[in-house]
Structure 1
Amino acid sequence: MPRKKADSPNAPLAPGQAATINDIARLSGVSKKTVSRIINDSPLVRQDTREKVQALMKELGYAPDPLARALAFRRSFLIGMVYDNPTAQYIVDMQYGALDALRGTSFELVVHPCDTRSPGYIEGVRRFVQQQKLHGVILVPRASEDQALVEMLDQIGCRFTRIAALPLDETSATVVTHDRDGAAEAADYLLSLGHRDIALITGPSAYRSAHERTSGFLEALERRGLRLPPERIIEAGYTFESGVAAAEKLLLGGQRPTAIFTGNDEMAAGVYKVAMRAGLTIPRQLSIIGYDDSPLASRLWPSLTSVRRQTRDTGRTAAAMLIQPEGSALRTASVRPHLAVRDSCQPPEL
């Protein structure tokens, strides 16, 4: 029987047919093992062969399947991101940053939202890691702050990078975001404008970031001789709705503050809503500072002064740390915040 044209060493692919690794090997005249070595950046391939095969893969639009590669080489080309955070924009920016670092590499990103208050969540993360055969995991606050989760990942031999407001231990690879310093800069700015009757809407106390921002803000005020009374400090939940509830307590009662610092931009937006309902003009009658410098900050009117936390840079740094060879990977990196001054603050009315 005559050989089928499709089996000929030089037979082109049919229109619309997706190329396989066998096609790449056949059309380039090398072995499948050589193609695999090129895909995995092995040095055991001549440069001219590497260039020829890579050009063919580009021409045919061939992309190796990460899961198939993981099975073949007993290692994964998937990076996981585990998070429990109520701020959607923060998670989106973190993912964009991680994808920035992975672009042009063999790695892909998969995400795993979880509820760290659920008793079975650590077992859920274990299944996620093992079923996906992950190369490593980026732990986003609040999951990054759970020592039991870290110990489980150590136990199963999964690499991880923690994102945290401050160094959590001496051994974990960590991207430190220095939230205390960002909040202190916000306090110094309000004091420089002449504000003395200041209120603080914090994030939930279960989050280390909320604790660090609260401490940094209050300590900066105290260094300048100002101590906030308890009724000027209200805990909220990092959400718009909780910002509304907290602002109602501060603005719809008796004497109102001249300035409010909130633990994130979502809560600041809630303050804007209550201020508008109360007939207060921002910033003439009320100055507001948020935290995150999310896209929301520049969309509010007047635009919101906010502490820029460099979330995308944080995700990019965390992912880059994970894909480095273990011996050369950084143990700690810093992404420092700074205040982005816009139109929501001015000196208080006399």
Structure 2
Amino acid sequence: MSRDNFVAKSTEGRLSSGHMADDDNQPRRRGLGGEKKPTINDVARLAGVSKKTVSRVINQSPFVKADTREKINAIIAEIGFSPDPQARGLAFRRSFLIGLVYDNPNPQYVVNMQLGMLDAMRGSGYELVVHPCNRGNPTFLTDFRRFIERQKLWGVVLTPSVSEDDRVKIILDEIGCGYIRIASVPVDEPAHIIVSNDRVGGRAAARHLAELGHTTIGFISGPGTFRSSHERRGGFEEELKDRKLKLTDDYIMQGAYTFETGISCGAELLKRTPRPTAIFAANDEMAAGVLHAIRRANLRCPEDVSVIGFDDFQIASSVWPPLTTVRTPTREIGRMAAEKLIGHGGEEGEDHSREAASATSPALVVRDSTGPAPR
């Protein structure tokens, strides 16, 4: 449609006040020559898509098909549509900022999560704001609310263990801020959750050690406030039980997902009689600490004690010997979370990823820190 024809067809429906009503029943001013200014609703109608899809094209979101983008841009150029920045800001009433909220003590986890989110946000017009917090702080919830309201966030990605706190969800619902929760089990509706399935990874660790012939096994859990700690242990014990093995209380230590607690817990386990022939630490930082404790005790890994970790962060391949571990695709999870939040796949006629459940599956990575049980 040419602009002249568009203007001619658009002269109907003028209001006596000198304004015209658009498809949302909101008044629009006439142009300088008295003609009706084209709006985003007109672009959407002519392109046969939703206003949301047009908005994505205007904001240079990568989550629009190339042919759809070209068609919308051609219509915008043909009818002379120009977005009003002030009207756009009023319509969204939020900044184009996405928050990442975490209380995870593992810096590599946070870095990988950020990289994944930035992968998805590149070219979308959105920016990332990071908010570390401490769930044990008495002002945690107040500080969280202030962060969301002050930044006027478009949405927020919540990582464990913040994601497992339903009080945070209530605050976000009250404010009207979009969110995605990353957790080891489903803790919300599919539109708001990405499940990491940590229990599956725990089973994989137990299966590997059992197949190597280990029967006296030590375990170092993460903090009790993290659901992932319970899921990793739960899967580990379930697999051992299926193989007629048992994880006894004397061989269970609680760490804090830190290198230092890996050293201290590992040292305690090595004092047990009989000494464990294998130790499963619930993350790589603690597993690296166990390797340190083994060297301090003048023992060898894996000849005397096998060690297996969880996550497959950079430290797993940097220590000696390189760690056998359970890989969780943290960067991929971050990318999925940001895409789900922004609304990847939201074009007309396509599946809406926000409405679909998302999940990842851990996988065992065998390196040099595990070997057959000593005879």
Q: Using the TM superposition, give the Cα deviation of residue 133 of structure 1 relative to its aligned residue in structure 2, in angstroms.
A: 1.1
1:203 — aligned with what?
Answer: 222
Aligned to 2:207: 188
2:262 equivalent among 243, 255, 275: 243
Q: 1:102 aligned to 121, 124, 131, which one?
A: 121
Structure 1 regions of 5+ residues with no counterpart? 1-30, 54-65
Matched, 1:309 2:328: yes
Find the residue that maps to 1:307 and give its secondary structure: strand
For residue 93 of structure 2, what is the aligned residue in structure 1?
74
Aligned letter for 1:332? A
TM-score of the aligned structures, taking structure 1 as reference length: 0.81
Q: Does 1:323 align with 2:342?
A: yes
How far apart in 2 are the matches of 1:274 and 1:71?
Answer: 59
CA positional deviation for 1:331 = 3.9
User: Normalised by the size of structure 2, how large is the TM-score?
Assistant: 0.76
How much does 1:67 deviate? 12
SS at match of 1:162: strand
The yes-or-no answer on 1:333 pairing with 2:358 is yes
3-state SS of the aligned residue for 1:218?
helix
Instruction: Give, in angstroms, the shift of residue 91 of structure 1.
Output: 0.6
* Residue equivalent to 1:58: none
Provide, for residues 124-154 of structure 1, a one-character-per-residue CA deviation record: whole Å limited to 9, x for no partner.
1111111111110000001000001111101
Partners of 1:69 and 1:118 in 2: how far apart? 38
Letter aligned with residue 207 of structure 2:
D
Residue aligned with 1:76, SS? coil
Contact 1:174–1:331 under 8 Å retained in 2:
no
State the percentage of identical aligned residues: 47
User: Cα gap change, 1:144/1:192 in structure 2, threshold over 3 Å: closer, same or farther?
Assistant: same
In structure 2, give the amino acid aligned to 1:338. Answer: A
Is the deviation greater in 67-76 or in 261-270? 67-76
> Alpha carbon RMSD of aligned pairs, Å?
2.9
Q: How many Å separate the matches in 2 of 1:116 and 1:318?
A: 21
Give 2:74's aligned residue.
46
Equivalent residues of 1:70, 1:77 under 8 A apart:
no
What is the number of equivalent residue pairs in this alignment? Answer: 307
Unaligned 5+ segments in structure 2 are 1-36, 41-53, 61-68
Counterpart secondary structure, 2:123: coil
Residue of structure 1 equivalent to 2:9: none
Q: Give the Å deviation of 1:68.
A: 11
Q: What's the counterpart of residue 343 of structure 1? A: 368
Q: For 1:239-318, list aligned pairs within 5 A.
A: 239-318=258-337
The answer as to whether partners of 1:69 and 1:77 remain within 8 angstroms in 2 is: no
CA contact (8 A) 1:67 1:77 kept: no
- SS of the residue aligned with 1:46? helix
